[in-house]
Structure 1
Amino acid sequence: MTNIHRCVRVCQNRTCKKQGSAAVLAAFQAFSIPDVTVTASACLGQCGNGPMVLVLPDMVWYSRVQPQEVAVLVEQHLLGGQIVKPMLYHRFHPR
């Protein structure tokens, strides 16, 4: 998983913004992550569960992401290739 170009999409639509997604996007953008593009996204269609983060092409959805948790996602998933199970969005990744 570590040699693929990834895109991290952080929802910036109304509900996610109210839940703090602008700060989550800024936290991701503060990192320089090789082979990863971080982008603001339009609505990801999961309103009320945000801030939503989608990692492509992995199709891994993270919900209720807080700015202080971004470092964990970067270190474990984007750099280490390990999905951060406690942060997974239950709708697409049932336990």
Structure 2
Amino acid sequence: MSSQKSVLVCQNTACRKAGATKVLAAFQASPVADITVIGSRCLGQCGNGPMVVVMPEEVWYGRVHAEEVPAVVERHLRGGCPVAGMLYRKFH
């Protein structure tokens, strides 16, 4: 089993309407070594997006805005500490 970290950003219709394309672009513009950013298919949480999931630890973020991405990159992806105020409440 791979411990490769990845960031999934839903690119399905509802999330795209909420700005997921900009969220994906913001993650891609702030690359982190050994972390892959992936535009994903529907993550099954329509209406709460844009949805972002950090794998393999399965940390979910809901209603993510592009301007919030730097906080996730710095605090979570680089610093190892999920951004508590942005966590998707259904799963955390």
| TM-score bucket of the superposed structures, by smaller chain | over 0.9
Match of 1:81 in 2: 80
Match of 1:53 in 2: 52
CA RMSD of aligned residues (A): 0.7
Q: How does 1:1-95 map to 2 (within 5 A)?
A: 5-93=4-92
5+ residue gaps, structure 2: none
Q: Which TM-score applies when normalising by structure 1?
A: 0.92
5+ residue gaps, structure 1: none
Give the Cα separation in 2 of the matches to 1:5 and 1:79.
Answer: 14
Give the Cα separation in 1 of the matches to 2:31 and 2:9.
Answer: 16
What do residues 2-27 of structure 1 show as CA deviations (whole Å, max 9, x unaligned)? Answer: xx531000000000000000000000
Q: Secondary structure at the match of 1:50?
A: coil
Count of residue pairs brought into register by the alignment: 90
Identity %: 57
Give the Cα separation in 1 of the matches to 2:5 and 2:24.
Answer: 15
Give the Cα separation in 1 of the matches to 2:6 and 2:54.
Answer: 6
Q: Secondary structure at the match of 2:6?
A: strand
Give the Cα separation in 2 of the matches to 1:85 and 1:61.
Answer: 10
* Per-residue deviation, 1:61: 0.2
Give the Cα separation in 1 of the matches to 2:59 and 2:19.
Answer: 20
